[in-house]
Each structure stands twice: as C-alpha cells, then as structure tokens.
C-alpha cells in the first residue's frame, strides 16, 4: 500500500491507508475487496466491510481488549446516532460526578466532544499500529464504543456480563447521513462516489461496517436472546420519546433514576444537555476536531428523522424499503 501525499495526511486518521501492521497487510491480501467510499478499497472480513485502518483496529481490539463485567459498550452502525448515544450515556453514568448540567457549569460535555469522552475502539484506542492501550487505569464503569458487528466483538465482551447498548436507525437516513459525511471528508485528490453509486453500494451492503441489515440483525437477535446483555434501540423511537428511553437506558445499565432525581429534573437536564441544538451550538463542536482528526461539526448536520425524502428518488426508496423488508421483516423488525 503506497504512502499517501501530504494532502492526504489531512484525511481523518482512520481513513489513512498507510502505516498498517504487517499482520493486517498480509490479511488484506487474502480478503475480498471492493471500491471504497473514501479510501481506495474496502475489505470484507468476518462478513463485514472495513477500511484498512478500521480493520487493523478491529484485529487489535479483538486480540487485546479484556472486558470487565462493569463495562458499557455502545454500538452503532455508522451514522445511526453514535454521537448522541455517547453524550447521553456519558452524562447518565457520570451524573453524580457532574451533577450540574446547566450551561454555566463545568460539565465535560460543554467543552469536549462526546467522541473524545467515549472513545471508539477501532478508530481510537486500538487505531495505532502495534500499540495496545492500558485501560486498567480507567475507573469503572468504563464506557467504550464501536461499529463492529456482534460477530466481530472481542471474545471477552461475550464472555463477561458487560452491557451492550445498540442503537440503529432507518437505513434511508443512515445512507443520507453517511453520504453527506463522506462528502465533507473529501480532499482535493480523493475520489468519492456519486449519490447513485454510493446508494448502489450501500444496498449491496458495501460500506464501512456494512452490510447495514446484517449489522442490525446480529444485535437484534442477541437482544432477543439475552435482554440483560444487549439493549436494542432505534433512533426514531428515541427522538419521539427521549424521556422514556433515557430512563430505559438507565434501568438497563442498572443506574435507574430515583423519584427524587426525576422530580428535580435530572432526566430533562441530561436530555437538554445532549440535545442536537445544545451540542451543535457549543463552541467546541463548531471549531475543534475529535481525536481522530475529523471536525466536530461534521457530526452534527440535521439530527432529524426523514431527511431521506429530500434525497432519494421513488425508485431508490422502493428498492431500499424492499431490502429492509426482505432482510428484517421475518425477524419482526422494521423501520
Ligand atoms: P458516527 O457513527 O460516524 O460516529 P453519528 O453520530 O451516528 O456518527 O452520525 C451523525 C448523525 O447523528 C447526524 O445525522 P444527520 O446527518 O441525519 O443529521 C447527526 O446530525 C446526528 N446527531 C448528532 N448529534 C445528535 C443529537 N444530539 N441528537 C440527535 N441526532 C444527533
């Protein structure tokens, strides 16, 4: 894999294609590959598609991550509401440490992007070649996040009683959000796919961490099998009933809100602090970058349900809806 030009060093870290470990390089030569969305290629590993650095991070965390029973893992397919879930979970878990959630307080979410408070595995902690982070110093409960499929999670996650919160979203909105995101990441020399090309690729399952439907299904099945292990959430439902779902997440994570907290407005306070309007208007989220070199503002676009109506043709909508129906309806899942 060639070293990229200087301009490409401006590309988000996880999309750079050089500085890959020997183990990963060797594996890449054996995997099916397709044209990438922004990296040159995507590679299929354990049934899902990875950019090279994403795969390296996945291999490293599969090998090295040791789960504690108290860990919390937030999982999403990209563009399903990761930033929101990270903010909510961080504020929820740390509500005794940071009880003051008002605008003039010292709450970390007011000065730090949620991605820097809840680190990704494959594009964050395990991103660097041949580097294993020391996570023992983090005081429990530790919160991590990943886009990995259920099948690809490190073994210790499955063997421990740590909790997994999975958030998914209507694939039409996921696709549109993804499309806008990759366009923002585009550098002068990088070749991106047209909307039509990207749509065709997404529908075939070829996108970073895709296929979307298999990703969702893996966690859905696990949540049915083991509701104490995996909580399954939908972005649309959370947008419509945020108060209810934040309380459900708190119960699942075994830190339910007390009556007193509810009457003091703690639930509403967290929801306001983590709302799209609040987070997207913070100075930090307008001007700074997350640790993996992406502008914070790129994670805040519209934060709405149904923007797909403004982007997809009738044929596209019918096509993607029919895939969703065919792949998920038999399992009692719809969007
Ligand atoms: P990631 O998976 O790449 O980390 P993720 O946060 O899932 O990113 O994607 C960003 C989407 O979440 C954006 O959706 P959109 O493009 O349809 O607008 C973004 O606007 C939305 N988002 C970010 N923060 C919030 C929030 N606090 N509440 C609701 N939606 C949010």
pLDDT digits (tens, 9 = 90+) for 97-154: 998 777 668 899 999 999 999 999 998 999 888 889 999 999 999 999 999 999 999 9
**147 belongs to the catalytic site:** yes
Q: Where are the alpha helices (DSSP H) in the chain?
A: 22-28, 52-64, 82-93, 114-117, 155-159, 171-185, 195-203, 212-225, 235-240, 242-252, 259-264, 266-273, 276-280, 283-287, 314-328
pLDDT digits (tens, 9 = 90+) for 171-207: 999 999 999 999 888 765 566 678 999 999 999 999 9
> DSSP characters for 139-166?
PSSPEEEE---STTS-HHHHHS--EEEE
Q: For residues 113, 118, 124 and 125, what is the CA-based torsion angle, rounded to 10 degrees? A: 140
Location of structure tokens 């690809």: 152
Distance, CA of 213 to CA of 13 (rounded, Å): 27
CA of 302 to the centre of ligand 1 (A): 8
CA of 81 to the centre of ligand 1 (A): 5
Are the C-beta atoms of 11 and 51 separated by less than 8 Å? no
Distance, CA of 99 to CA of 318 (rounded, Å): 47
Are the C-beta atoms of 73 and 81 separated by less than 8 Å? no
For atom 17 of ligand 1, the residue with the nearest CA is 177
Provide the 3-class DSSP secondary structure of residue 231: strand
- When mean pLDDT is compared across 17-26, 34-43, 53-62, the lowest value belongs to 17-26
Least Cα distance to 60 among 107, 5, 130, 13 occurs for: 130
Q: pTM of the full predicted structure? A: 0.95
Q: What is the pLDDT of residue 292?
A: 78
Q: What is the pLDDT of residue 129?
A: 85
Given 115, 147, 180, 331, the catalytic residue: 147
pLDDT reading at 209 higher than 50: yes
Residues in contact with ligand 1 by the CB-under-6-Å rule are 76, 78-84, 87, 173, 177, 180, 274-276, 279, 299-303, 307
> DSSP characters for 47-94?
TEEE-HHHHHHHHHHHHH----TT-EEEEE-TTSSHHHHHHHHHHHHT
Are the C-beta atoms of 176 and 212 separated by less than 8 Å? no
What phi-psi label fits residue 118: left (phi over 0), alpha (psi between -120 and 50 degrees) or beta?
beta
Distance, CA of 40 to CA of 86 (rounded, Å): 29
Cis peptide before 73 (omega within 30 of 0): no
pLDDT reading at 11 higher than 80: no
CA angle 44, 26, 56 (to 5 degrees): 60
Are the C-beta atoms of 28 and 20 separated by less than 8 Å? yes
List the domains of the chain with CATH numbers: 11-331 (3.40.50.300)
Give mean pLDDT, residues 165-176.
98
DSSP code of 109?
G
For atom 24 of ligand 1, the residue with the nearest CA is 84
Provide the 3-class DSSP secondary structure of residue 44: strand
Distance, CA of 289 to CA of 266 (rounded, Å): 29
pLDDT reading at 40 higher than 70: yes
CA of 85 to the centre of ligand 1 (A): 9
Q: What is the pLDDT of residue 12?
A: 66
For atom 23 of ligand 1, the residue with the nearest CA is 300
Task: Tell which atom from ligand 1 comes closest to the C-alpha of 181.
Answer: 16
Query: pLDDT band at residue 17, thresholds of 50, 70 and 90?
Result: low
Q: What is the pLDDT of residue 51?
A: 93
Task: Tell which atom from ligand 1 comes closest to the C-alpha of 83.
Answer: 6
pLDDT digits (tens, 9 = 90+) for 271-330: 999 999 999 999 999 999 887 788 999 999 999 999 999 999 999 999 999 999 999 999
CA of 170 to the centre of ligand 1 (A): 13
Q: What is the pLDDT of residue 10?
A: 57
CA of 29 to the centre of ligand 1 (A): 34
Distance, CA of 219 to CA of 216 (rounded, Å): 6
**Substitution candidate for ligand 1 out of 14, 54, 82, 83 with most atoms within 8 A of CB:** 83
Pairing mode, strands 72-76 and 143-146 = parallel
pLDDT digits (tens, 9 = 90+) for 72-96: 999 999 999 999 999 999 999 999 9
Task: Tell which atom from ligand 1 comes closest to the C-alpha of 274.
Answer: 27
């Amino acid at each position: 894999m060639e070293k990229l030009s200087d301009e490409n060093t401006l590309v988000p870290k996880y999309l750079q294609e050089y500085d890959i470990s020997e183990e990963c390089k060797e594996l890449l030569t054996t995997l099916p590959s397709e044209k990438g969305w922004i990296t040159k290629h995507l590679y299929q590993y354990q049934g899902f598609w990875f950019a090279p650095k994403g795969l390296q991070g996945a291999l490293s965390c599969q090998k090295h991550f040791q789960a504690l029973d108290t860990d919390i893992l937030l999982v999403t397919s990209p563009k399903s509401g990761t930033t929101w879930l990270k903010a909510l979970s961080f504020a929820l878990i740390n509500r005794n440490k940071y009880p003051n959630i008002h605008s003039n307080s010292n709450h970390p979410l007011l000065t730090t992007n949620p991605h820097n408070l809840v680190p990704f595995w494959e594009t964050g902690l395990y991103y660097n070649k041949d580097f294993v982070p020391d996570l023992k110093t983090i005081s429990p409960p530790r919160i991590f996040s990943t886009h990995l499929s259920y099948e690809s999670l490190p073994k210790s996650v499955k063997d421990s009683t740590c909790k997994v919160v999975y958030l998914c979203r209507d694939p039409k909105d996921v696709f549109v959000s993804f499309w806008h995101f990759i366009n923002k990441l585009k550098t002068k020399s990088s070749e991106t796919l047209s909307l039509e090309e990207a749509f065709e690729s997404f529908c075939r399952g070829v996108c970073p961490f895709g296929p979307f439907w298999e990703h969702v299904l893996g966690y859905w099945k696990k949540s049915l099998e083991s509701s104490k292990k995996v909580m399954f959430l939908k972005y649309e439902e959370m947008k419509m009933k945020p108060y209810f779902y934040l309380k459900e997440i708190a119960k699942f994570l075994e830190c339910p809100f007390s009556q007193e907290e509810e009457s003091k407005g703690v639930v509403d306070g967290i929801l306001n602090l983590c709302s799209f309007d609040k987070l997207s208007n913070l100075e930090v989220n307008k001007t700074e970058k997350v640790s993996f070199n992406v502008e914070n503002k790129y994670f805040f676009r519209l934060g709405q349900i149904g923007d797909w109506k403004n982007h997809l043709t009738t044929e596209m909508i019918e096509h993607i809806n029919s895939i969703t129906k065919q792949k998920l309806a038999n399992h009692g899942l719809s969007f």
